[in-house]
Amino acid sequence: MNSFLKTGRSFVSHFYCSRTRSFRSPLRPKTIESSDTSDSSLKPSSVTEPTSPKKSLDLSADVLRDEWQQIIFHHTATPRTSKFNVEWCRSLHVDQRGWSDIGYHLYIEHDGSISKGRPLNRIGAHCSSKNYEAIGIAVCGGMLADGSYGITLTEEQKEAMKECVAELRRCTGKQLPVSGHRDHKSTLCPLFEVKDIFDE
């Protein structure tokens, strides 16, 4: 059973956005972790999109690394449907790629709800040159109904992106500049321009 938690405001907080200076994970990656979830073999899903209540992000009980300096967004290169949720992504990274955990710290679902991925006191696996300092957030989508790649971002997902950034800035006390994976390497991930969303 996966250990991820859907976000909510029901946590009893023992750490108020705690940060740690020298956290050392007891887990070791089984293989080198790199790249994102892009998989050209994925086919569009016929899964319909159920409506589920959107929950607010509350990281008050989470321990954050002091080294976080920025936030990098990704897309999942999948149809924006409920099938490709955080559990699907964790399974892809852990069961298929042999990583220690999902590569992203936060995951914005097809309906704009936010799920927690890899704990924020651990270095992620999403942007090889920036993993040490960058929090990774994946946004479900990036593939159109016909199987071609395209922008599928919705207003709900944009709001969730802003909510993630606001909460991370609150918890770290830092401005944490935002960017897309494609701003750091030659990739189409994500297809949308991150800075445009935050300049709206």
If one asks whether residue 33 binds Zn ion (CB under 5 A), the answer comes out as no
Closer CB to Zn ion, 17 or 103, in the complex = 103
The contact pattern for Zn ion, residues 81-120, with x = CB under 5 A and - = no contact, is ----------------------------------------
If one asks whether residue 125 binds Zn ion (CB under 5 A), the answer comes out as no
**Nearest to 68, CA basis, from 30, 116, 119, 31:** 119
Closer CB to Zn ion, 17 or 140, in the complex = 140
3-state secondary structure (DSSP) of residue 164:
helix
Figure out which of the listed residues 19, 74, 116, 130 binds Zn ion, where binding follows CB under 5 A: 74
Closer CB to Zn ion, 19 or 158, in the complex = 158
Count the residues of the shown chain that bind Zn ion, applying the rule CB under 5 A. 4
Written as one string, the DSSP assignment of 104-151 is -SEEE-TTS-EEE-S-TTS--SS-TTTTTTEEEEEES-EE-TTS-B--
Q: How far apart are CA 25 and CA 42, in angstroms?
A: 32
Tracing tokens 């969303």 back to the chain, one arrives at 197
If one asks whether residue 36 binds Zn ion (CB under 5 A), the answer comes out as yes
3-state helix, strand, coil in the chain (%, to 5): 20, 15, 65
Q: How far apart are CA 175 and CA 177, in angstroms?
A: 6
Taking the complex as a whole, the smallest distance from the CB of residue 187 to Zn ion amounts, in Å, to: 6
Closer CB to Zn ion, 36 or 111, in the complex = 36
Site residues for Zn ion per CB under 5 A: 36, 74, 181, 189
